[in-house]
Amino acid sequence: MTGMLNFNLSLCFLSIATFVGAAEISFSGKNKISGELMAMDPDGTVTLNAPYSTEPIKINPDGIQKIDFGKSDIKYELLEQNLTLINGDSLPVEIRSLDDKVLKVHSPSMGEMNISRELINSLEVGIFSKKLIYKGPNEIGEWSNAKDQATEWAVDDNLLVSQGSGTIYRDMKLPDNYSVRFKLKWENVPNFKFTFGDPMDFKGASVNRYYFQFNRAGMQIRRESTGNQRYFPIAQIARTPQEFAAKELWIEVRVNRKNGRIELYLDDRLQDKYTDNYPNTPSGTGISFHAEAAEDNPLSITNIEISQWDDRADRHRAEERGNLKEDAVIGSNGERFGGRILSITNVSDRRIYRFKSNFQAEAMDLPDSEVSTIYFAAAAPDKKLEEFKGLSLFFRGGGSCQVTKCSFNGDKVNIFHPLLGEIQLNRSAVSHLERNASAKPIPPKVDKLQKTIR
């Protein structure tokens, strides 16, 4: 007999055939349960094989806030174009073509798609390409150690490993806008600090730099300064090691020095955006890793990638788009044109955007390198979008979409999208499923949860 967590009603009917995968289910509040996701019945009941229960647990989805499908062996790279629909859904895509009625794209998550123009809000074009500065670790000799701590760090099989306390650093020649991404693993509890924008002066004096700290209490980003006050808080992040059952975490920071802007990504998901309002933004070009670890609690760092971050998409997205009744093109340098985007074609492996400006008699052909963002003329508001209270599906390669129905069958996922209709995609592409904020879940009965999983 299976244990039962009974929450009334159902928001979205989900069904999964026998496809077993690691999952974490979050309820309203801070209640969570993890295990193998065994099935979801047509009536929406989730069957979970939890480690603390001798029998599978069945959970009605009405109290569920989020289902995290765990890790995937498949790596989805971020593409150079991004599509935003009129309901706010965002999908990384590769543009195939555009005519007077239909945009054709390829999505790593959804495959080949034909989308009517009136369903499109914008296309971000060629602004995600990044210049790789460093990829490693490669060998210990490319790193320096503070205070003669050379024995505490080593490179072993592409892992930067610390067996005790110590600091290791390197000059990465960080540009004005940069991204630092790596994977952190720990044995017991992490006690770890990562600095960036670092002048690499470890003599004990105050310097201008940022640091990200992660330990049993959670995470924080702080600014170190040479001013009267040495440390300033940038962000307190309530994410503790217990949330990462596999004891590993992808960490990425993206920094715009000029604007004092920092973005933090955890496991390739945006945690939040922060602003450093303190004077004298750190201009250092190095990074460092610091471990406070005992011999029986090693840390390791792998897949380090340093790249130049192109944040034009965010800046152009925040600007006013102009007349909503016409298309608009924003150039790579911020120039703006109103008119009509006539077509997108591929000529000799080059994408050409034909655009008719309001101020020119002839249409002009623009290459990828000259286009940042395209806005499409807004259609009349659709009432069904305002009433949407379904779920949001998030993808490993970035992006998300709203769904009203969702069914899983083996390694395939079938969804019903409020604009695009029925779509099939690979389950490996799904990162997590989350209840839309406009739908208010019923809080789970914690006493019944505890009773069931004993």
pLDDT averaged over consecutive 10-residue blocks of the chain (454 residues)? Answer: 36 35 72 76 70 82 79 70 90 93 91 93 74 90 72 83 88 95 92 94 88 95 91 93 89 93 89 91 95 79 90 60 84 85 89 92 90 86 54 83 78 85 86 65 35 30
Instruction: Indicate whether 124 belongs to any domain.
Output: no
Same domain membership, residue 145 and residue 27: no
Range of the domain at 443: 3-72+386-453
Q: How far is the CA of 20 from the CAs of 3, 50, 55, 244, 402, in angstroms?
A: 18, 12, 15, 20, 24
Cα–Cα dist 78/97, whole Å:
20
Q: CA triplet 253, 80, 77: central angle to 5 degrees?
A: 60
Instruction: Indicate whether 358 belongs to any domain.
Output: no
Of 287, 309, 331, the position where a domain reaches its end is 309
Contact 48, 57 (CB under 8 A): yes
Q: What's the token pair of residue 307?
A: 């790249």
Return the closest-CA partner of residue 156 out of 170, 136, 132. 136
Helices (H), 190-276: none
Cα–Cα dist 449/175, whole Å:
50
Same domain membership, residue 149 and residue 41: no
Q: What's the token pair of residue 224?
A: 């170190």
Q: Burial of 295 by CB count in 10 Å (0-12 exposed, 13-18 middle, 19+ buried)?
A: exposed
Same domain membership, residue 157 and residue 296: yes
Same domain membership, residue 261 and residue 164: yes
Of 268, 285, 309, the position where a domain reaches its end is 309
Return the closest-CA partner of residue 98 out of 294, 282, 344, 285. 344
Of 256, 291, 309, the position where a domain reaches its end is 309
How many domains, the chain?
2
Same domain membership, residue 296 and residue 160: yes
Return the closest-CA partner of residue 308 out of 139, 435, 176. 176
Return the closest-CA partner of residue 426 out of 406, 453, 408, 401. 408
Same domain membership, residue 149 and residue 242: yes
Instruction: Indicate whether 91 belongs to any domain.
Output: no
Instruction: Indicate whether 246 belongs to any domain.
Output: yes
Cα–Cα dist 179/22, whole Å:
30
Q: What's the token pair of residue 217?
A: 């209490």
Per-residue model confidence (pLDDT) at position 381:
58
Cα–Cα dist 70/246, whole Å:
10
Quickly tell me which residue has 């009773």 as its tokens.
Answer: 451
Instruction: Indicate whether 177 belongs to any domain.
Output: yes
Contact 12, 404 (CB under 8 A): yes
Same domain membership, residue 136 and residue 68: no
Same domain membership, residue 143 and residue 292: yes
Q: Which amino acid is at 113?
A: M
Cα–Cα dist 74/78, whole Å:
13
Same domain membership, residue 291 and residue 145: yes
- The secondary element (H helix, E strand) that includes residue 450 is helix 446-453
Return the closest-CA partner of residue 445 out of 66, 41, 59, 12. 59
Instruction: Indicate whether 320 belongs to any domain.
Output: no
Return the closest-CA partner of residue 392 out of 439, 437, 434. 434
Number of other residues whose CB lies within 10 A of the CB of residue 346: 11
- The secondary element (H helix, E strand) that includes residue 448 is helix 446-453
Return the closest-CA partner of residue 338 out of 321, 350, 354. 321
Contact 12, 28 (CB under 8 A): no
Q: What's the token pair of residue 259?
A: 């604007």
Same domain membership, residue 148 and residue 11: no
Q: Burial of 298 by CB count in 10 Å (0-12 exposed, 13-18 middle, 19+ buried)?
A: middle
Same domain membership, residue 301 and residue 212: yes
Q: Residue 383 has what DSSP assignment?
A: H
Instruction: Indicate whether 356 belongs to any domain.
Output: no
**CATH number, position 296:** 2.60.120.200
Same domain membership, residue 177 and residue 302: yes
Instruction: Indicate whether 115 belongs to any domain.
Output: no
